[in-house]
Amino acid sequence: MRLNAADLLRVERANFPSLLDPAISSFEPYDKTRTSDLNFLDPQADPLLAAVHINIPLHQPDWHIYDDGAVGVVLADDHRFRVATIWTARDHGHPVSGFREWGATDGAAGAVTMYCRGVDQATGLLGALAGERVFKPADLLWKSWQHGLVRLLKERGAQASVGEVTSVRYRWSSLKDTYYQPTGKWI
């Protein structure tokens, strides 16, 4: 089975929930009556503005996770889609605030690289108090996504492997002066 980057991203979106370890988290359309929310999992539809509920189980005592979360699709094209954490009436805030992007790039000799990258920080007082512990489930979740994608592709006859995983955490205080430069008042 040979896929280009756009084909691989469609396969990934169509199978997204099954790629994740449900003991860590599960994703589902936020409102199953809204077409835009259902489009998140339909690789033929435009997922832009879809809202997605993330169930974060509380049975992991060392994670210190205090609630579920939601994300909205803020960018989608043939080679990537990006979500941003959002506040909803059902989930309220997300344990972290930020962005996550999944994408695929075509390489040499028909190779395709699938990636997941993100930037986020702990949300609110509880997130700040939890510190680095708030990121442990996310790291495990995205590693489970990598292994789930490799498993799916191998089941379909493709060659696939997990590449090098990198994760770098910066303290906001060291970035704020360079990157926080609002041009107007925040509401």
In this prediction, residue 121 has a pLDDT band, given cuts at 50, 70 and 90, of confident
Q: Is the pLDDT of residue 155 over 90?
A: yes
Tell me, what's the pLDDT at 73?
93
Domains annotated on the chain, with CATH: 5-179 (3.30.530.20)
Average pLDDT of the chain, as a whole number: 83
- Give every CB contact of residue 17 below 8 A, 6+ residues apart in sequence: 26, 27, 28, 41
Asked whether 21 and 55 are in contact (CB, 8 A), the reply is no
Residue bearing the bigger pLDDT, 42 or 61: 42
In this prediction, residue 105 has a pLDDT band, given cuts at 50, 70 and 90, of very high
Tens of pLDDT, residue by residue over 47-81, are 999 999 888 775 555 554 556 888 999 999 999 99
* Cα–Cα separations (whole angstroms), residue 57 to 43, 67, 128, 131: 27, 8, 20, 19
In this prediction, residue 23 has a pLDDT band, given cuts at 50, 70 and 90, of confident
Dist. CA 47–CA 85, nearest whole Å: 15
Tell me, what's the pLDDT at 1?
62
Tell me, what's the pLDDT at 128?
67
- Give every CB contact of residue 128 below 8 A, 6+ residues apart in sequence: 122
Tell me, what's the pLDDT at 84?
93
Dist. CA 64–CA 152, nearest whole Å: 31
Q: What is the mean pLDDT of residues 29-36?
A: 88
Tell me, what's the pLDDT at 74?
94
